[in-house]
């Protein structure tokens, strides 16, 4: 589990790269490189307020995978207000 101040989704990952998606720590945030098709699915999930899971790693890596989960929650924390 990684806490981050921001998340960047980059939809320029080529399918020929051999990766499903790539995640990396950048400064105090997270950058997730995904394919254009995954970006379109992510955008639709955000519009619909649906949870979304991005599987990161090599296409042929077997069970060794990382996941980026985007989850909608019911309650909003009341921190850092003002």
H-assigned helices in the chain:
36-47
Q: Where are the domains of the chain?
A: 6-70
- Per-residue 3-state assignment (H helix, E strand, C coil) for 27-50: CCEEEEECCHHHHHHHHHHHHCCC
**Residue 28 has what pLDDT?**
87
Checking if the pLDDT of 26 tops 80, the result is: yes
Q: What are phi and psi of 16, to 5 degrees?
A: -75, -5
Where does residue 59 rank: exposed (0-12), middle (13-18), buried (19+ CB within 10 A)? Answer: exposed
pLDDT digits (tens, 9 = 90+) for 35-62: 999 999 999 999 999 999 999 999 887 7
pTM of the predicted protein model: 0.79
CATH architecture of 6-70: 2-Layer Sandwich (3.30)
């Amino acid at each position: 589990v990684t806490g981050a101040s921001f998340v960047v989704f980059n939809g320029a990952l080529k399918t020929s790269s051999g990766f499903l998606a790539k995640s990396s720590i950048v400064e105090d945030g997270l950058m997730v490189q995904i394919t254009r098709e995954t970006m379109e699915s992510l955008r639709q999930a955000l519009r619909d307020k649906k949870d979304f899971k991005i599987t990161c790693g090599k296409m042929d890596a077997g069970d060794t995978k990382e996941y980026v989960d985007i989850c909608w929650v019911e309650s909003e924390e009341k921190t850092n207000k003002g």
